[in-house]
């Protein structure tokens, strides 16, 4: 790369794109690789370019576009595509619906390299096919190849992936004598059905049971034997003596990961797993009346087949307070960020 006066640049190859703002929009006046002609000189001068950089290959150095291509190859994982490089930048786009997951520790180390910049949406965010996932570039117009080699040495695998939704079926067990006897309208079922549908899950088994721990436990066991992908118990999740659902989940044979979370709304949420990995969730009443709760934080991860641990829930306190914004932008907001 060599800088020369514009007047001396006719016949030389431009090293990078030259952009211009016209009509309030940014556009490219001259693309990288353009061989300058005499009539281009006045255009460049009117753009404020009295000098330009021209291409002169140098051993061991990478042009910003070539560096971006290598960086994308290092970062891109399963179920995503790359855009064409533009002005030294490449973006990654989701190739299917699923959960976007990033190796945040490796990415922090990569971004600590002064020449590298990788921006990405929040890890563990649900995405749809075509959604933008990440953008990356190097900062200088050219970098030593050793910079990309250093970045490659920070991780043994791609730092991004999209995990397709895996679960297809759900059992919903609604508890409470007031629902069983028709004294109150069942608000859990339509709410849960809509949330499951967002991740391609259909309720294939639906049961309404009174406040009977043995009956609830048997319904959970039956749903498990029936092969349901996820089993949800709605209602009866508080610590009141007559709330039977937490005890019933324990009696069903599922091993409890957590009962109680540092997330509001949703503190009384429960998660357990059968030995084969089938998840059982206990949904507190807030799922009925709050737009976003802990269930919305964990359901995408469960739907993508990620097993959650007590440590995962302990980290959810960071970002675990829903601010009840007038215009909700979940999951783009910080609610449920964790870690």
Q: What is the pLDDT of residues 269-281, one digit of tens each?
A: 999 999 999 999 9
- The predicted-structure confidence for 202-223, as pLDDT tens digits, reads as follows 999 999 998 889 999 999 999 9
pLDDT at 164: 98
pLDDT at 242: 64
pLDDT at 77: 96
**DSSP state letter for 83:** P
User: What are the residues whose beta carbons fall under 8 Å from the beta carbon of 165, sequence distance 6 or more?
Assistant: 97, 98, 99, 199, 200, 201, 303, 304
According to CATH, the topology of domain 2-54 is Molybdopterin biosynthesis moea protein, domain 2 (3.90.105)
Of all residues in the chain, the percent with pLDDT exceeding 70 is 96
What is the mean pLDDT of the segment spanning 23-40?
77
CA torsion sign, 308 to 313 to 319 to 321? positive
CB 316 within 8 A of CB 262: yes
- The predicted-structure confidence for 108-160, as pLDDT tens digits, reads as follows 999 999 999 999 999 999 999 999 999 999 999 889 999 999 999 998 779 99
Cα 192–193–195 angle (5° rounding)? 65
As given in the structure block, the two tokens for residue 138 are 């190097």
CA torsion sign, 300 to 305 to 307 to 312? negative
3-state SS class at 300: helix
What is the mean pLDDT of the segment spanning 179-204?
92
pLDDT at 31: 79
| Bridge partners for 46 per DSSP | none
Whole-angstrom distance, CA of residue 160 vs CA of residue 100: 7
What is the mean pLDDT of the segment spanning 91-116?
97
Q: How many other β-carbons are positioned within 10 Å of the β-carbon of residue 47?
A: 15
CB 175 within 8 A of CB 233: yes
State yes or no: pLDDT of 339 exceeds 60: no
CATH class of 61-163: alpha beta
Whole-angstrom distance, CA of residue 104 vs CA of residue 137: 17
State yes or no: pLDDT of 321 exceeds 60: yes
What is the mean pLDDT of the segment spanning 284-307?
96
* Residue range(s) of every CATH 3.90.1170 domain in the chain: 61-163
Whole-angstrom distance, CA of residue 70 vs CA of residue 67: 5
Instruction: Give me the long-range contacts of 320-326 (CB less than 8 A, separation at least 24).
Output: 320/261, 320/262, 320/263, 320/264, 320/294, 321/263, 321/264, 322/264, 322/265, 322/290, 322/292, 322/293
pLDDT at 24: 62
pLDDT band at 338 (very low <50, low <70, confident <90, very high): confident
Which of 170, 166, 271, 270 has the alpha carbon at shortest distance from 224? Answer: 170
What is the mean pLDDT of the segment spanning 7-17?
80
pLDDT band at 181 (very low <50, low <70, confident <90, very high): confident
pLDDT at 124: 95
pLDDT at 8: 82
- Integer distance in angstroms from the first to the last C-alpha of the chain? 43
Of 57-66, 121-130, 186-195, 223-232, which range is least confident? 57-66
State yes or no: pLDDT of 50 exceeds 60: yes
**Domain 169-317 indexed as CATH 1.10.357.10:** no
CB 198 within 8 A of CB 128: no
Cα 126–132–137 angle (5° rounding)? 130
pLDDT band at 261 (very low <50, low <70, confident <90, very high): very high
What is the average pLDDT score of the chain? Answer: 91
Of all residues in the chain, the percent with pLDDT exceeding 90 is 69
pLDDT band at 23 (very low <50, low <70, confident <90, very high): low
pLDDT band at 14 (very low <50, low <70, confident <90, very high): confident
* Residue range(s) of every CATH 3.90.105.10 domain in the chain: 2-54
* Residue range(s) of every CATH 3.40.980.10 domain in the chain: 169-317
DSSP for 219-253, written as a single string = HHHHHHHTT-SEEEEES--SSSTT--HHHHHHHTT
- The dihedrals phi and psi of 74, each to the nearest 5 degrees, come to -70, -35
Residue 145 is inside which H or E element, if any? helix 145-152
């Amino acid at each position: 790369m060599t800088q020369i006066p514009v007047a001396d640049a006719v016949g030389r190859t431009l090293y990078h794109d030259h952009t211009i703002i016209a009509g309030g929009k940014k556009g490219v006046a001259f693309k990288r690789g353009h061989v300058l002609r005499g009539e281009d000189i006045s255009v460049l001068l009117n753009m404020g370019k009295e000098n330009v950089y021209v291409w002169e290959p140098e051993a061991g150095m990478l042009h910003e576009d070539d560096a971006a291509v290598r960086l994308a190859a290092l970062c891109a994982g399963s179920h995503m595509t790359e855009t064409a490089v533009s002005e030294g930048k490449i973006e990654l786009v989701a190739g299917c619906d699923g959960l976007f997951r990033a190796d945040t520790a490796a990415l922090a180390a990569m971004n600590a390299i002064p020449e590298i910049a990788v921006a990405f949406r929040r890890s563990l965010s649900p995405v749809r096919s075509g959604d933008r996932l990440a953008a990356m570039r190097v900062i200088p117009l050219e970098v030593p190849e050793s910079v990309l080699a250093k970045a490659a040495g920070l991780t043994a695998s791609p730092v991004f992936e999209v995990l397709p939704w895996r679960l297809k079926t759900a059992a919903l067990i609604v508890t409470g004598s007031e629902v069983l006897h028709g004294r109150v309208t069942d608000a859990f079922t339509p709410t849960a059905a809509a949330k499951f549908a967002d991740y391609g899950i259909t309720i294939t088994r639906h049961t309404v049971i009174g406040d009977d721990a043995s009956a609830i436990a048997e319904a959970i066991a039956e749903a498990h034997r029936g092969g349901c992908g996820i089993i949800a118990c709605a209602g009866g999740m508080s610590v009141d003596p007559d709330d039977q659902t937490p005890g019933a989940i324990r009696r069903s044979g599922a091993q409890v990961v957590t009962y109680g979370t540092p997330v509001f709304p949703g503190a009384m949420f429960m998660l357990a797993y059968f030995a084969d990995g089938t998840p059982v969730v206990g949904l507190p009443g807030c799922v009925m009346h709050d737009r976003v709760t802990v269930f919305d934080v964990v359901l995408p991860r469960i739907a993508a087949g990620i097993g959650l641990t007590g440590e995962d829930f302990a980290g959810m306190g960071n970002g675990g307070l829903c601010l009840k914004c007038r215009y909700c932008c979940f999951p783009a907001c910080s609610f449920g960020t964790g870690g």
